[in-house]
């Protein structure tokens, strides 16, 4: 386009016959007198000179435009991303300290084992075992942190390469999966905001399809999506016209930012106010739907068209699919096309295993393959909205890379959350995991899949190996069309056969058909009885053939969401999201890495996704319990990284990371014992350490210094704040002595045949008042940490009393015991604050410490006895009967 514009400019200058010299424009003078021969010759010479000069200028313009085009093409050929290793000045000291700490641990445990405490032998043995376990846990966690990396993407190069003006848009289509299970625990307004952020994403609309999975078959969510689709007709063009960020209206209108920054359009303020009013009306409509849904009619739900709602019984209903928006649906207010929105509720019948979220995700994989078949798929929880509208472009920089894109199974983005208290009391942000551990895994074979905010390569979901050449090829006649299947192809092939009279060709064709039939049968055993879906599986670049009948595709989509479709197939075993654990994310990512795939961790400057997190103590502990229970289920399953698939495609550091992700709940046992030992020592007067020699003191001090240096250097290269690190340490102890412990027992019960069920966590709408933060919900998970706090406080009181009674020499050992006991209480401090209840009440920690100080003061007061009369005179001695 640039070249054509330059050529047009040059021709216009020549046709206009306009020349210019240094003084300005040249004009031909004619005073009515004839030119002399010399004068005419001079004029012709000047004319030739200026004409040549103009041609040279045109040539220079053409060359400059050609050079500009060449520069743009050269820029487009540059890599779409690059790996940025951590600076050696930051990472090398960290590695050295890790090695030193390993050496110190060896000498420390040699000292501990060779110097037993004979007067407290049982305590000594238990403490040494716990210390060795905790040290091994640290090693398993630390070794995969050896190669941290970060990555940069170049969105401009992506646009230059795949979005040229003179050719059709070449960006790959993306299917987006949004899952929800209960509209009363997951408010419809939250799901609606997530869907709106998806529909307004900065990506070609014809290449985006949003699938919403409703596992409750609720007419409330069905009607909510109807209202959402209507509101999207005005919201999407508003976002794209003014380049709005964030594109979830609830969070956009609640942001306390200068919304006029970088806005130059004169009608923006007026349109924003009008849009806010429209959104408030939209929320009122959703609230009305919620209010109506609270009272179920006796005759069941009835849709707006008068037909009964097929999903009145959420545990026994047929499959439901409704296509909204898109090329066949409503357009936006400007008459432009919107991304397609599809409502999906899979069939459910009694007696069938539905496999929770993993089963819903596999249903969406099949439905999307039949209806749109994009080569890539993004999965989101209903409360995880798109915060960065360019997130799909960020992921395409990796997945559409011409050299390495076919080797990436998914691009994982970090989780970020709204509505967390400023101090992040319960470590909801999980900063250490997302900003340290995941960066380190990205330097090995890739980050773990965390269940949401992840863009998948569809071929990896189908269980194929990367760059596999052994996939069977099939004809496209499996796709339904408006006419008979493959009629034109069969006619042309018959004409060709009539023209060619070769017997060998007929034999080869029969052999080909036989092989194709055999491969189709094997694929049906693996993927299920759907030729349409199988044909989509074999299309590596995705897409649907031209002329496909949408109505027939809908019928096929209903077939692939039936409850018995997965029977006798490999769904949930080797294909799609794997079954067998409530943490299907770890299992699914692990299976892909075992096949040789690599994953990518993408951290754009503006957070890609944001969502909600449990902000009160009880809900947070139940969330941790679910994750830990899923890990124990994997440990007792056949997919345990300790013994599963040693084919060599999974790197050993990656295997170590997966091992850490499933064995960490078992660390709760030594952790609980070790947190109890200080109180036992204070109550019994015993200690787990003997009298320290000079050498022992040096090794103990070296161990503490190495621990501190490891933490400091880790924070230095990662950029994580000391507060986030400390909150993570505190909640590691809180979760370890409560949720992780219960998860171990639940895992053992499941091995014994006793199943434990998990309900959907209740999500709350966006609320800045933190009403849920101070809500106290009693649960059995609170018993172990509460017992630890009381036990250690009682131990401190008993230790102080014993030190006072035994004199000056007993204070030295007491301070050693006191240090470990205070270590436990300080780590449980956020837990104690969580017990305070309402904000205006006196904090429980103040009450507990007041009782502690009062008891200590009372015991000291009794010891002094200042109000009792003192005995004077000679000391009385027992004299027996002779007195």
Q: Which residues are catalytic?
A: 215, 585
Q: Name the phi and psi angles at 411, rounded to 5.
A: -115, 115
From CA 398, how far away is CA 406, in angstroms rounded?
9
Hey, what are 539's tokens? Answer: 């299309």
Which residue's entry shows tokens 């040539």?
A: 59
Listing DSSP states for 231-261 in one string gives: HHHHHHHHHHHHT-SS-SHHHHHH--S-TTT
User: Within 13 A of 572's CA, how many CA atoms are on the CB side?
Assistant: 22
From CA 738, how far away is CA 373, in angstroms rounded?
44
**Do the beta carbons of residue 453 and residue 430 sit within 8 Å?**
no
From CA 310, how far away is CA 314, in angstroms rounded?
9
**Do the beta carbons of residue 186 and residue 194 sit within 8 Å?**
no
Which residue's entry shows tokens 């103040």?
A: 846
From CA 310, how far away is CA 293, in angstroms rounded?
15
Neighbours of 605 (CB within 10 A): 5
From CA 834, how far away is CA 425, in angstroms rounded?
9
**Do the beta carbons of residue 215 and residue 247 sit within 8 Å?**
no
Residue 306: is it exposed, middle or buried by C-beta count within 10 angstroms (0-12/13-18/19+)? exposed
Which one, of 857, 849, 859, lies nearest residue 828 by Cα? 849
Which one, of 599, 609, 617, lies nearest residue 777 by Cα? 617
Listing DSSP states for 392-417 in one string gives: HHHHHHHHT-TTTGGGEEEEE----B
**Do the beta carbons of residue 516 and residue 475 sit within 8 Å?**
yes
Residue 7 makes CB contacts below 8 A (sequence gap 6+) with: 62
Question: Cis (ω within 30 of 0) for the bond into 246?
Answer: yes
Q: Which helix (H) or strand (E) holds 193?
A: helix 188-199
From CA 700, how far away is CA 501, in angstroms rounded?
90
Q: Kindly list the strands in the beta sheet with 320-325, ordered across the sheet, starting from the edge strand earlier in the chain.
A: 320-325, 340-345, 208-214, 174-180, 376-381, 454-457, 408-412, 598-601
From CA 310, how far away is CA 633, in angstroms rounded?
35
Neighbours of 546 (CB within 10 A): 7
From CA 216, how far away is CA 186, in angstroms rounded?
11
Written in H, E and C, the secondary structure of 16-48 is CCCCEECCEECCCCCCCCCCCHHHHHHHHHHHH
Task: Tell me the chain's radius of gyration from C-alpha atoms.
Answer: 36
From CA 322, how far away is CA 339, in angstroms rounded?
14
DSSP state of 454: E
Measured CA distances, 729 to 530, 720, 725, 726, 824 (Å): 51, 13, 6, 5, 11
**Do the beta carbons of residue 70 and residue 7 sit within 8 Å?**
no
Strand partners, 411: 455, 600
From CA 597, how far away is CA 363, in angstroms rounded?
23
Residue 826 C-alpha from the chain's centroid = 31
């Amino acid at each position: 386009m640039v070249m054509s514009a330059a050529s047009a400019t040059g021709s216009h200058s020549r046709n206009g016959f306009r020349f210019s010299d240094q003084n300005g424009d040249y004009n031909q003078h004619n005073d009515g007198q004839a030119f002399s021969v010399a004068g005419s010759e001079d004029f012709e010479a000047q004319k030739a000179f200026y004409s040549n000069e103009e041609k040279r200028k045109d040539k220079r313009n053409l060359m400059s435009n050609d050079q500009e085009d060449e520069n743009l093409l050269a820029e487009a050929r540059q890599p779409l991303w690059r790996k940025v290793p951590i600076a050696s000045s930051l990472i090398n000291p960290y590695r050295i300290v890790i090695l030193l700490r390993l050496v110190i641990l060896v000498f420390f445990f040699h000292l501990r084992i060779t110097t037993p405490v004979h007067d407290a032998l049982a305590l000594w043995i238990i403490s040494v075992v716990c210390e060795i376990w905790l040290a091994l846990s640290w090693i398993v966690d630390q070794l995969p942190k050896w190669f941290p990396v970060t990555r940069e993407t170049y969105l401009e190069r992506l646009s230059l390469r795949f979005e040229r003006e003179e050719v059709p848009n070449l960006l790959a289509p993306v299917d987006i999966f949004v899952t929800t299970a209960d509209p009363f625990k997951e408010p419809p307004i939250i799901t609606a905001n997530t869907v709106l952020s998806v529909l307004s994403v900065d990506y070609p609309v014809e290449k985006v399809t949003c699938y919403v999975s409703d596992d409750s078959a609720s007419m409330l969510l069905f009607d909510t999506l109807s209202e959402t689709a209507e509101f999207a007709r005005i919201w999407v063009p508003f976002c794209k016209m003014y380049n709005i960020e964030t594109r979830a209206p609830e969070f956009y209108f609640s942001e306390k930012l200068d919304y006029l920054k970088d806005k130059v359009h004169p009608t923006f303020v007026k349109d924003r106010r009008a849009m806010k009013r429209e959104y408030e009306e939209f929320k009122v409509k959703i609230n009305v739907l919620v209010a109506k849904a609270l009272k179920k009619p006796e005759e069941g739900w009835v849709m707006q068209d008068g037909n009964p709602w097929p999903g009145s019984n959420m545990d026994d209903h047929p499959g439901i699919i409704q296509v909204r928006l898109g090329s066949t649906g409503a357009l936006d207010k400007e008459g432009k096309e919107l991304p397609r929105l599809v409502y999906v509720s899979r069939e459910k019948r009694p007696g069938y295993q539905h496999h929770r979220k993993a089963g819903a995700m596999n249903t969406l994989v099949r439905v999307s393959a039949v209806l749109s078949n994009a080569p890539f798929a993004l999965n989101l929880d209903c409360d995880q909205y798109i915060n960065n509208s360019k997130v799909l472009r960020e992921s395409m920089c990796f997945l559409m890379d011409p050299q390495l894109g076919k080797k990436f199974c998914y691009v994982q983005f970090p989780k970020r959350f709204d509505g967390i208290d400023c101090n992040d009391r319960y470590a909801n942000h999980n900063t250490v995991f997302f900003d340290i551990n995941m960066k380190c895994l990205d330097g090995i074979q890739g980050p773990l899949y965390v269940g949401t905010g992840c863009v998948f390569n569809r071929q990896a979901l189908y269980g194929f190996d990367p760059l596999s050449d052994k996939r069977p090829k099939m004809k496209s006649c499996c796709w339904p069309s408006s006419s008979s299947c493959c009629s034109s192809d069969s006619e042309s092939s018959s004409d060709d056969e009539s023209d060619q009279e070769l017997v060998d060709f007929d034999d080869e064709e029969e052999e080909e058909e036989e092989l194709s039939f055999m491969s189709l049968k094997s694929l049906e055993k693996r993927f299920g009885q759907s030729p349409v879906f199988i044909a989509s599986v074999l299309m590596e670049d995705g897409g649907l053939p031209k002329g496909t009948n949408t109505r027939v595709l809908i019928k096929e989509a209903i077939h692939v969401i039936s409850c018995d479709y997965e029977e006798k197939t490999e769904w949930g075993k080797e294909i799609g999201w794997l079954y067998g654990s409530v943490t299907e994310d770890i299992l699914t990512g692990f299976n892909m890495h075992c096949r040789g795939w690599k994953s990518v961790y993408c951290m754009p400057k503006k957070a890609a996704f944001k969502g909600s997190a449990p902000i009160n103590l009880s809900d947070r502990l139940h969330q941790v319990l679910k994750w830990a229970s899923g890990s124990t289920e994997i440990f007792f399953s056949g997919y345990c990284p300790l013994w599963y698939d040693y084919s060599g495609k999974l790197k050993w550091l990656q295997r170590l990371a997966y091992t850490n992700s499933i064995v960490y709940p078992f660390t709760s046992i030594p952790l609980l014992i070790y947190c109890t030992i200080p109180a036992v020592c204070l109550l019994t007067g015993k200690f787990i350490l003997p009298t320290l020699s000079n050498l022992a003191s040096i090794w103990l001090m070296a161990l503490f210094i190495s621990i501190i240096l490891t933490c400091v250097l880790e924070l230095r290269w990662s950029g994580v704040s000391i507060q986030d690190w400390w909150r993570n340490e505190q909640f590691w102890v809180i979760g370890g002595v409560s949720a992780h412990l219960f998860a171990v027992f639940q895992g053992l019960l499941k091995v014994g045949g006793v199943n434990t069920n998990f309900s959907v966590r209740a999500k709350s709408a966006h609320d800045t008042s933190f009403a849920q933060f101070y809500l106290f919900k009693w649960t059995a998970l609170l018993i172990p940490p509460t017992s630890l706090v009381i036990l250690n406080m009682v131990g401190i009181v008993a230790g102080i009393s014993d030190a006072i009674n035994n004199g000056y020499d007993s204070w030295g050992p007491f301070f050693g015991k006191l240090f470990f006991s205070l270590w436990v209480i300080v780590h449980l401090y956020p837990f104690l604050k969580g017990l305070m209840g309402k904000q205006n009440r006196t904090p429980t920690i103040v009450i507990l410490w007041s009782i502690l100080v009062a008891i200590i003061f009372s015991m000291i007061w009794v010891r002094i006895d200042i109000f009792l009369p003192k005995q004077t005179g000679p000391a009385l001695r027992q004299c027996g009967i002779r007195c």
